[in-house]
Structure 1
Amino acid sequence: MSSLDVPSLRRAGAVCRSWRAAHNAFCLPALERAPCLFYACEEYGPNDAALYSPATGATFRIPFPGPPHEKRGFTFACHGGWLFTTDEVGDPYLLNPVTGAQATLPPVKTIYHNDEFYDDGGKHVWPADPENGTMKPSISWARHTEYLRVAISTTTDVTECTVLIVHTPEWRLSFARPGDDRWTLVSQDESFVANVLYNDKDGLFYILYLHGSIGTLNLCEPSPSVSLIMRSVLRSSGYRTMYPVLGPSGELLQVWRNWSRTHTPLKYRDTYQDIVNEMLQGCVDLAQKDDNDNKQRDELETEDGDEEGELWETDANDQEIDGSQLLREGIDLPHRLVDEVTTDEILVFKVDVDRQKLVELRDIGDHALFVGFNSVVCLPTKDFPAFDPNCIYLTDDCFDYSPMLRKDLGIWNIKNRNMQKLSYAWPNMYSWLHLPAPVWITPKF
């Protein structure tokens, strides 16, 4: 049975008593209790993906129908065990990977601004612009660059759920339900949404903007619009990914993940104090200082020679790609190592709506957070020794250089503010491919 995929394992367990006993040894119900890592790997080929369960230490084969891995694009894990993913053109659909159930969503060209932006193959050609330093044409693929974040409402029947997406241009909001013909643009005063969250306690979507403000959205209303409940707290958006989270007691949190390109010299990367300096005065209550708060740029310099020279040399090499040849061949831009990123700092805040402030947290108790291209999960760790408390489990979700080779996966210790690479913590995982990017998903049978 070890060679079977999960749907086949479940069917085999219903054949007879002895097969049922063998089926039970795989502990499939445990998959529904804690997040698993869903990713592509060479071992399972182009039509299947791996599902690694840290809680059990087991890896399962999961059918992943669609284009081959090198032609896949954005994949996002939602509540209820659903994946939001796309075909080769960029048309999205919902998929439950452990049951095979699917739900159709409106095509990508029905999203605001897209009717003439992409061709019928989901491609947009950016012409050369020598005056601005762009000497060769480049291409964008809808499956890589259109979708940024996703949230779906909780329903017993997926055909009745509402799907809210953050998309280009301007990081706007649109929503649809399975079976709809078109996406509907949401009326909002602000653009540049950082992330979205669905709260099944009040039936509202929560919208987090790049400057830290928060709004709520009721998509059951005839003409839904965003109502702001929290003011902006940042002067600039910076190089960061932001996540709205429901904390251990259901309280609203914000998580900020600051990152930089791996070839950026360490002395030019943002420190904790740099992030603090971006905050608007009186908007954030900071935690008590510790030694990690006092890092200076001179402490971050390395002894590896002329990093700045290496930086510019790498950028120069990156410009040697022949975009016109790629256009003729109709293939994707290569996934370049120069586009790797690394997490430098993560901050966690409690949102105090009454005081219109964020309160920095250095301890979330015996809980762990799971963030990336997924609906953020807050999990109590006392029943799961595989997960460490007061930690954040990260997958690589930087959008700015998409598509890219995804390597920034790790475990961030909130108190000590350092990260362990995921491959070091769980060495029995298969090596993942770059498409789709690894995501956290809590399966639902």
Structure 2
Amino acid sequence: MDCMPEIPILRDLTRCGQSLTKFFFVSPRLLPTIKPGRSRSTKTLPELPEDILISIFANLEIPDLIRASSVCLSWHSAYIVSVYKFGLYKQPSQQTPCLLYTTESGPDGESDMFLYSLAESKSYVLSSLPDPPIRSRHIIGSSHGWIITTDSMSELHLLNPITGDQIALPPITTIEQIDPVYDDNGVLHRYRLAFFTGEDVDEQPRYYTTMSCQEFRDIIFLKAILSADPSTGNYYVVLIHNPSSQLSFARGGDDKWTWLPQHYWFADCIFKDGMLYALTRRGEIHVFDLGGSTITHKKIMGASIHKFYDNKIYLIQDRCGDVLQIWRGSLAEIEESSESSLEDEEPLHEYEEPLHEDEEAVHEYEEPLHEDEEPLHEDEESLHQDGDTISELDSEPECHTQYTTRFEVYEVDFATKMLVERTSLGEDLLFLGHNQSFCLRGEEHPQLKANHIYYTQGEHIISFRHTDERDISVLDLQNNICEKALPEQRCSNWPGPVWMHLNPRKITSDSHNN
């Protein structure tokens, strides 16, 4: 057998170091080896044929798979064949998800990320990630084992935290409503945002505003999803962005964003049967075909009744192919005001959303809003009509944490265009937040709880409150009781944590620019 690292048997891999990227990137030739003349442990790895190893690897959780790939040369070779040649590794629906997060106490606090494995109830460090440092970024989505991030200049990247692959997305100045602003030396230092939705063919911007690059990302980017694994180059990125929660997308290799005008106030998206399904905050569902020579659109579901104080709504496809709408209710509790309680809250109007306490009730210069239109952002202070500045956000003396109070689950009946309430998920469970929402089967994941919803505080409000504690919990739909998803609060508050499946495939297309 090849020269062996001192890892005697496969099950002992879980007891060895917890830095996955160190296992992943280090060649087996560089791993610690048994010195000549030193007695070998009686527990040795068997000589297994490659096809047997591939069969074993295909059933390992991704952390175990990565560790196994670094055991010896023959195992590494089998790993390469399994993952890259045949694509045989545990697919997302079979994987137990992980929570991706950062912490201020890591070996390199600015650059390291961590994975909390729900399967093992322990964390791994992900080091040697590409610049810019991860804690300087904002995570606006996770999908197909990649995260979508925006840096301090508001530029967007795809990052696979397992392989370290990174893809630069088109410049944000190619988004329809965004223009660069340069200083006297020709250096980009601000962006200008035009407020229009394309609802009318001859629509002109109602007003403009300019913002610093870092402030801009906190306000503009709401969520992003992928249609497929970017490692092959054949994928779409869909971006929900302001003003008015509109949609833009880019194909793999594109150098600009394509705007989807006339429709806005989107909350979530999924790809189903090659089509983009987009959900508005009112429960409307729009379907876009992005693959043809001409983009086509159809609204297949009308607005639903507004359910909760704070309108958080998700779109998800269950394991049977049915489309679900998930309505989430949450309230902001000011930790300094312990006297306040849910009972003190008065019901809001059916379509009314609460103004954040820092938000001015009226933008004096604004024209009346469209009947379905909402303020640009819940925490945004008034903008100036001349478009020169956006006022500074208030300092953060208090901690405002969004506590989820309930979920309601509805199946979309496209035949009747009605929502059918589900009081139970049965053996299924859901993962919601800034990740692309997904559904798993409880009996296939014994470490997880059926009829439960695992969630993070994934809404864009967290980008304004960097110091807030994150609500990372699991809710039992049977009794509506929440409990913490992690044994202790180990995540830093910024960037916000996200659920994700892991993807061990490295980029194979030469068309990518890293």
TM-score, normalised by the number of residues in structure 1: 0.75
Secondary structure at 1:61 match in 2: strand
Quote the residue 1:247 is aligned against. 318
Quote the residue 1:384 is aligned against. 445
Residue segments in structure 1 that go unaligned for 5+ positions in a row? 126-136, 280-310, 322-330
Question: Is 1:113 the equivalent of 2:171?
Answer: no
1:292-313 residue CA offsets vs partner (Å, 9 max, x unmatched): xxxxxxxxxxxxxxxxxxx989
Bigger Cα displacement from structure 2, 393-402 vs 94-103: 393-402
Pairing partner for 1:27 from 64, 79, 85: 64
Counterpart residue type for residue 5 of structure 1: S
Quote the residue 1:61 is aligned against. 125
Question: Is 1:74 the equivalent of 2:139?
Answer: yes
1:317-362 residue CA offsets vs partner (Å, 9 max, x unmatched): xx9x9xxxxxxxxx99755544321112211000001011101111
Quote the residue 1:373 is aligned against. 434
Pairing partner for 1:103 from 167, 174, 180: 167
1:395-417 residue CA offsets vs partner (Å, 9 max, x unmatched): 01122453222422211111212
Secondary structure at 2:314 match in 1: strand
Counterpart residue type for residue 442 of structure 1: H
1:61-107 residue CA offsets vs partner (Å, 9 max, x unmatched): 113433445532233111x2011112211100111110011112111
Pairing partner for 2:493 from 391, 415, 434: 434
- Root-mean-square deviation (CA), in Å? 3.9
- C-alpha distance in structure 2 between counterparts of 1:49 and 1:180, whole Å: 28
Quote the residue 2:264 is aligned against. 191
Counterpart residue type for residue 86 of structure 1: T
Q: How does 1:231-246 map to 2 (within 5 A)?
A: 231-234=302-305, 239-246=310-317
Q: How does 1:320-331 map to 2 (within 5 A)?
A: none
Pairing partner for 2:253 from 153, 175, 179: 179
- C-alpha distance in structure 1 between counterparts of 2:473 and 2:329, whole Å: 14
Q: CA deviation at 1:183?
A: 0.9
Residues 151 and 197 in structure 1, CA contact (< 8 A), matched pair in contact too: yes
1:159–1:242 CA distance, 2 compared to 1 (3 A)? same
Question: Is 1:38 the equivalent of 2:100?
Answer: yes
Q: How does 1:290-301 map to 2 (within 5 A)?
A: none
1:268–1:384 CA distance, 2 compared to 1 (3 A)? same
Residue segments in structure 2 that go unaligned for 5+ positions in a row? 1-12, 35-43, 46-56, 67-89, 194-209, 335-339, 361-378, 382-391, 505-514
Residues 139 and 147 in structure 2, CA contact (< 8 A), matched pair in contact too: no
Question: Is 1:152 the equivalent of 2:226?
Answer: yes
Pairing partner for 1:91 from 155, 159, 184: 155
Question: Is 1:351 the equivalent of 2:412?
Answer: yes
Residues 113 and 126 in structure 2, CA contact (< 8 A), matched pair in contact too: yes
Question: Is 1:142 the equivalent of 2:216?
Answer: yes
Residues 92 and 107 in structure 1, CA contact (< 8 A), matched pair in contact too: yes
Pairing partner for 2:279 from 185, 189, 208: 208
- C-alpha distance in structure 1 between counterparts of 2:397 and 2:312, whole Å: 21
Counterpart residue type for residue 369 of structure 1: L
Quote the residue 2:10 is aligned against. none
Question: Is 1:420 the equivalent of 2:493?
Answer: no
Q: CA deviation at 1:437?
A: 0.3
Counterpart residue type for residue 457 of structure 2: D
Q: How does 1:123-134 map to 2 (within 5 A)?
A: none
Quote the residue 2:327 is aligned against. 256
Residues 228 and 234 in structure 2, CA contact (< 8 A), matched pair in contact too: no
Q: CA deviation at 1:363?
A: 1.0
Counterpart residue type for residue 142 of structure 2: A
State the identity as a percent.
26
- C-alpha distance in structure 2 between counterparts of 1:210 and 1:442, whole Å: 26
Higher relative contact order (CA 8 A, sep 6+): 1
Residues 395 and 408 in structure 1, CA contact (< 8 A), matched pair in contact too: yes
